[in-house]
Every structure is written in C-alpha cells, then in structure tokens.
Structure 1
Amino acid sequence: MLLATFKLCAGSSYRHVRNMKGLRHQAVLAIGQELNRRALEGPSPHVWISQVRRGSSLLGSRLEEAPYSDQELAYIRQGEEAMQKALGILSSQEGWKQESLQPNGDKVLSKMVPEVGKVFRLEVVVDQPMDRLYEELVDRMEATGEWNPNVKEIKVLQKIGKDTVITHELAAETAGNLVGPRDFVSVRCAKRRGSTCVLAGMATHFGAMPEQRGVIRAEHGPTCMVLHPLAGSPSKTQLTWLLNIDLKGWLPKTIINQVLSQTQVDFAQHLRKRLQSSPAPEARA
C-alpha cells in the first residue's frame, strides 16, 4: 500500500499521473495517514514522543503551503519516514544496554534493532532553555564545525519548505586515524509540537553532491534528537540523541562501537562549551 502510493506521489509511474494534481494530493495525504498508522502500531511511547507523532500531518499540510516538485515531495516523505522510524525506536524501552555513564550523569545506551542494526542513545540534561538549543542545532547548523571538532563542515545543499533540508556533512578523522575521512548526504527535518522539538534525518541521494575522491560516503540510518524542557526546571533541557550510522568500508565492530559511543559523549561536552561561551542569537522574528 505505502510503496504503491509513494510511486504515485514521486511521479515514478505513468506520465499522465504526474500531471494529475488532485490525484497526487490524495496520494500524499494517504502516505501521511499510512505512516501514522504504522507508527502507532508499535509499543506505547512516552508522552513527549506521542505528542509529536500524533501531530504528524506534515505531508498534506506542506502540499497546501507551496507547489513542490515530485523530487521535493520525495525528500519530504523521506524526512518524515526517518522521524517516524527513529521515534519508534526510542519509544521502546526494552533491550537497552548501558555503554557509558559520565560523572555529570550523561549516559550512552545501545541496542540492536532488526533491519536497522546497532543504535546508540545519548541522554543528557543541558543547563540551557530548549529554544537556545534549537537555535544552535537547527538555525545555526552550518556553524557546527566551529565548536564540534568531530565535524569539519556542514553545508545546506537545498531547503524545502520551512522544515526540510538536504545537507552535506564532512566528518573529521578520528584520533590515530582509526576511522578515515567520511562524508554524509542526508535529508533532515525539524518539527515542534507543544514543548517538544524533534530533529530527524537519514541518508539520501542528491545528484549535485556525488562521492568525493579519497572520502568514503557513509550513511546515517534513522536518527533524531529530541528536545524538551526538564520536568520541574523549564530553564533546562532534556536532550535525547538516537544515533545510527553505517560507516562503510572495513572496520572492526569494536572500533565502530567505541567511536560512535565516544562521539556522543564528546558532542555533549562540546555543545555545553559552545552554549556557555557563545551569546544567544537574537530571537527569530
């Protein structure tokens, strides 16, 4: 059902279908409904996850806002799918194994997910309001390389509507060159529902950014960051980061697990330093 409907939306079926705006509109709405149905079939999620997933009418509403090409609609659908999959993984509380626990309470968990692989989950509390984190992680995304030494550069290749972007990320080499140069091309989407923000993404294909010589094209699986005010302390933010990466190439699993787990720990430390040293940008108009 979902695959057939998506073919209509993406214009990959017959030529005359691509010119039927009404049918394409119905197809997009059907995809959104199907994604929601599948997401809700899983275990009962936490309140903050459920809050976001219940409001998922993204595809239909965006079609009304602006005329999107078939390719743009495909990217929007892919970003929505990444968000649904990532939230579905986070909603399950079974099977998580602790990888590390820092003195300040930051912890990294992991588990194996069928058809996805090993995923890592960072849970931290940041002593800053949620809007401040949103500004840094979304609005100032391209400045990430200035404060996170694990990232050389992030560029926004295309912006689609208000919430979806295609990005190219060039990762820094790890200490001792255990993991050589990697880059990623991803579709990312950001949604706000009430007091909760979700930033999600996954690997995609973008013709204008082919693989680069000497750099291995790695892939993000369904990944997301969830931000919401800490209960009882609205000036602090609970941040949960689900990470799933296929680094490609030949690497021992022990090295991959060590690198990814440490990447999350380092991210939390670098983010705190950035927020403390950099003044908050002006509020968005």
Structure 2
Amino acid sequence: MELCGDFVQELGGASGGSGGWGVPVNQIPLRVLPAFLGSAPALGTAHLQHFLTCLRRQAAVAISQELSRLASHSPGPSTWIHQVRRRSSLLSSRLEEKPFSEMEMSYIKQGEEALQKSLRILEDQDDWKTETVAGNGDKVLSKVLPDVGKVFRLEVVVDQPLDTVYGELVDNMEQMGDWNPNVKEVRILEKIGKDTVITHEKAAATPGNIVGPRDFVSVRCSRRRGSTCVLAGMSTTYGAMPEQEGFIRAENGPTCMVLRPLPGSPSQTRLTWLLSIDLKGWLPKTIINQVLSQTQVDFAKHLRQRLARPVPVAC
C-alpha cells in the first residue's frame, strides 16, 4: 500500500523513498518507529507532521479493510462491526478537518463540562421536591446543591416524535423568540464544529417588569447517542459580545435538555429540562423561584403550540 508518495519522495533520497532506512516508509516496522521519529529534528517539523497525518490515514484504511475481511467470513456483519466501521469512517473524515484553535477547544471543553455536570445532577434522584404539577401532568421539581444553588427540573411528555422536537430546539434555535414569549431573541454568534455553538440570548421582561430584561452569553453542545439526545450549556465569555445597554448579564448553567422517545410510544417524546440560573440583581429568592418554575411550565405550553402548528406545504 502506498503511503503518501510525495512524502516518501521527499524523504527517500536516491531511490525507493526509504528515508535512509533502506525500506519504503510504509514498510518501517513498528518496533523501530520510535527511532525513526527520533530523527524529527533532521526531518523538519513540516515533514514530520505530514508523515504522522499519512500514518493516521493508513491506520484508518487498514482498520476498515480488516473489518470488511471479518464481515465476509461471517453470516452477517454484527452490530459492533457496523459501529466500529462507522467510527473508522468518522476518523478518516476528521483527519481532513481543520484543527480547532486553542480558544475553540476551550469552548468545546466548556460545553462538555456542562453536559457532564448536568447529567450527574439528573442522575441523583434524591431530595427533589415538587414545585408545580399542571393538570396535564407537567411537573416541575427542585433541589438545592451546595456548589450550584437551586436547580429546577421540568418533566413533560410532548405528542411529537423525537426528531421533530430535536429539530425545533436545535436546528431552529434562532426562531425560539417567534413562539416563546419569555424569549426575546436567540442568536448564534459562532459555530464550532458540528456540535458546539456560542449563543447570545435576550430574555423578555416579566409582566409588570418584576424581573427586568436579562441577557446571556452561553456555550451550547448537543450530543445524540442512539435514541437519546442531550442539549447542554452554560454561561461563558465572548469578546465580541460585551454587556449590552438595557440588559443585566445573567448567568446560567449547568443546564440541559434530555430528549427520549416515550417507551412503547415512539411518536411521543419525554423531555427533561434541568434549569440553573443566576438572574443577578437584587431580587428576593421567593420571586426568583416563582419566575423560574413558571418559565418552565410556560415553555412546555408554548413548545406544544409551536409543534402543533400546520406544516407549510411547498408548491
């Protein structure tokens, strides 16, 4: 198998692309690879990086070929072979992606941190207290965490399949202000890869202006594993979006929404929303608690109305 022929020629000297080893680069035994890499100063940084890229590509191709060989000797490919082949294909495609900058990586890590923290909170079933139970079964629970403060948990069932709910909350994120009166605007400031975004959200003032306008700058990430989707986020700083006149910069997170098909009814989706917000300013806790729990109940109502609207038919 040829390993990046242009690179072989650059290293090879007089013949065969041996790089002074007497064999083509693609035939260098793994046991002597450390010694080969030890010659990095002589090769130059650009040559070394190119070689490593080629080596990773070759590994991905070899894995894919071996999986195909295994599959051909069995009655039918097993589930794990499909999964590993898919991951191998993802690896090959990602080798061609532009690497993330240090700042982008920090945002990706913040999103992952928000996701992991949120799931740990939701996994702990102890000490949740009921705040509100609506007539349709929608429920808001709460608990106080030492390092976070009071968090709220909405549990609802939506009469729409998971893909529809996911599309509205993720793909159509910037349209949320069109159907949720508690949201004035959601704007994506930057996309990082396929799963992470930086957003600026403006919350509308509450009736009677009990709680004035707030805004948030957040990092959000989405993960989809099988039939479960997790949308997580937390506040972050973003140089291009300083504090705005007329708004108090509040903080949120860790927060997340978990979407799962209702067992036995794939046309319905169970939605769990963990909400953690510091509204800032001088507000009594009783007002804050009432506003946040009501915000979750209202969200479920407005989401149902949005999803129940007739879908425009293209001419």
Please give the TM-score of this superposition, normalised by the length of structure 1. 0.76
Q: Deviations over 1:75-127 (max 9, x none)?
A: 00000000000000000000000000001000000000120110000000000
1:68 corresponds in structure 2 to: 100
The correspondence for 1:218, drawn from 250, 259, 264, is: 250
2:146 corresponds in structure 1 to: 114
User: Do the aligned partners of 1:100 and 1:109 also contact (CA within 8 Å) in 2?
Assistant: yes
Correspondence 1:196 to 2:222? no
The correspondence for 2:115, drawn from 83, 95, 99, is: 83
Higher RCO (CA-CA < 8 Å; seq separation 6+): 1
The offset of 1:188, in angstroms, is 0.2
1:45 corresponds in structure 2 to: none
1:38 corresponds in structure 2 to: none
The correspondence for 1:152, drawn from 184, 208, 218, is: 184
1:242 corresponds in structure 2 to: 274
What secondary structure does 2:184 align onto? strand
Larger Rg: 2
1:139 corresponds in structure 2 to: 171
What secondary structure does 2:232 align onto? strand
CA distance in structure 2 between the partners assigned to 1:177 and 1:242 by the alignment: 25
CA distance in structure 2 between the partners assigned to 1:84 and 1:279 by the alignment: 35
RMSD: 2.3
Stretches of 4+ moved more than 6 A in 1?
none
Correspondence 1:168 to 2:168? no
1:42 corresponds in structure 2 to: none
1:254 corresponds in structure 2 to: 286
What secondary structure does 2:308 align onto? helix
Cα distance, 1:127–1:72 mapped onto 2, change above 3 Å: same
The offset of 1:214, in angstroms, is 1.9
User: Do the aligned partners of 1:135 and 1:281 also contact (CA within 8 Å) in 2?
Assistant: no
1:46 corresponds in structure 2 to: none
Matched positions, count:
228
CA distance in structure 2 between the partners assigned to 1:162 and 1:278 by the alignment: 29
The correspondence for 2:264, drawn from 212, 232, 235, is: 232
Please give the TM-score of this superposition, normalised by the length of structure 2. 0.69
The offset of 1:63, in angstroms, is 7.4
Identify which range, 64-73 or 159-168, moves more after superposition: 64-73
Identity, in percent, stands at 70
The offset of 1:66, in angstroms, is 3.3
* Structure 1 letter corresponding to 2:298: D
Cα distance, 1:252–1:278 mapped onto 2, change above 3 Å: farther
CA distance in structure 1 between the partners assigned to 2:151 and 2:312 by the alignment: 32
* Structure 1 letter corresponding to 2:135: P
* Structure 2 letter corresponding to 1:175: P
Q: Deviations over 1:37-64 (max 9, x none)?
A: xxxxxxxxxxxxxxxxxxxx9xxx7975
The correspondence for 1:93, drawn from 125, 138, 154, is: 125
What secondary structure does 2:293 align onto? helix
The offset of 1:281, in angstroms, is 9.7
Note the residue ranges of structure 1 that are not aligned, 5 or more in a row: 1-18, 23-56
Note the residue ranges of structure 2 that are not aligned, 5 or more in a row: 1-44, 50-86
User: Do the aligned partners of 1:132 and 1:280 also contact (CA within 8 Å) in 2?
Assistant: no
CA distance in structure 1 between the partners assigned to 2:155 and 2:313 by the alignment: 25
User: Do the aligned partners of 1:199 and 1:226 also contact (CA within 8 Å) in 2?
Assistant: yes
* Structure 2 letter corresponding to 1:246: D
Cα distance, 1:77–1:63 mapped onto 2, change above 3 Å: farther
* Structure 2 letter corresponding to 1:253: K
CA distance in structure 1 between the partners assigned to 2:180 and 2:135 by the alignment: 21
